[in-house]
Amino acid sequence: VYDTDLLRICYSSLTTPLKWEDYEMRERKFSLVKQKPVLNYDPSLYVSRRTHAKANDGTMIPISLVHRKDIPEGPHPTMLYGYGSYGINMEPSFNAHVLPFLDRGMVYAIAHIRGGEEMGRFWYEEQGKYLSKRNTFSDFINCAEHLIDVEKVIAPGKLAIEGRSAGGLLMGAVLNMRPDLFQVAVAGVPFVDCFNTMSDPSIPLTTGEWEEWGNPNEDKYFDYMLSYSPYDNVREQPYPNILITAGLHDPRVAYWEPEKWAQKLREMTTSDNEVLVKMDLEAGHFSASDRYRYIREKSFEQSVVLHYLGLVDEDCK
């Protein structure tokens, strides 16, 4: 079985659609087996790179970026994506759904914040969960600040951010901490009432989630979780534009969490920016399962982002 000269690999990058290649070990050559087709995509038009932001404690946080090669020098509208929980890595792999952003002159960035395992297991176990969870949120803010102040990537007032599920909790936390940094946020099925949910063991999945967030019924987790729980920390301040998406049949993040969060944001914000909620009456936690309907859902979210960034196509105005 192992007596072979061929090694088959799968490869993808921010500019390279997923492909399968055979590596001929004796000849030291790659031969393409198959590549996922992407309609009207030319990889030579795009470039990706890696940079690092310094966290509050001095830790260097990786950031992956991709944009078109032909955009001029200087700051640009940017979408910054983050997750940072459960030890899940946000791989810098190809995503055709970000091309509408890139082709309108935007930069797309992924913040590889603590809570994932991009830099090893300790990135999650020791520095991104339980009583270290606030690192996740401050890391994301540090990444945004780095792209604005150091790299000069982001144009003033042109930063959009996005996260789903636990990444939606990330959105809620950073919006409470630094709402001035962002122009628009997309929070998908956001786990924003974590303190109340984690305090109630009768809710399905709660007790299992204690392994990630801690049990607030214990003193050591009570105050710490309350310090970042997005719903509990909404206060009177100018929030940016926010799009919240949710599913009525979501078994992981109950529909009332994003609804009550949105209502509290509307009551407390001191700005004229909008807080929008799109509730899918048929979907669960993972949005539409039909691929064409999923594309329509993503198109809606992107149109909202482009609207608030002032990048709407002329024929759509």
What percent helix, strand, coil does the chain show, rounded to 5?
35, 25, 40
Q: Is 31 part of the annotated catalytic residue set?
A: no
Distances (CA, A) of 53 to 146, 151, 163, 174, 223: 6, 10, 19, 16, 28
Pairing outcome for strands 76-81 and 154-164 = parallel
Q: Cβ distance 139 to 110 under 8 Å?
A: no
Q: Given 232, 250, 280, 287, which residue is catalytic?
A: 250
Q: Given 12, 48, 199, 285, which residue is catalytic?
A: 285
Q: Is 112 part of the annotated catalytic residue set?
A: no
Give me the residues paired with residue 209 across strands.
none
User: Tokens 């936690």 belong to which residue?
Assistant: 285
Q: Is 12 part of the annotated catalytic residue set?
A: no
Query: Could you tell me if residue 152 is left (phi over 0), alpha (psi between -120 and 50 degrees) or otherwise beta?
Result: left
User: What single-letter DSSP state applies at residue 287?
Assistant: B
User: Rounded distance, CA 179 to CA 184, Å?
Assistant: 10
User: Tokens 């990786």 belong to which residue?
Assistant: 62
Q: Given 165, 229, 280, 287, which residue is catalytic?
A: 165
Q: Work out the end-to-end distance of the chain between its first and last CA atoms, rounded to an integer number of angstroms.
A: 61
Catalytic residues: 165, 250, 285
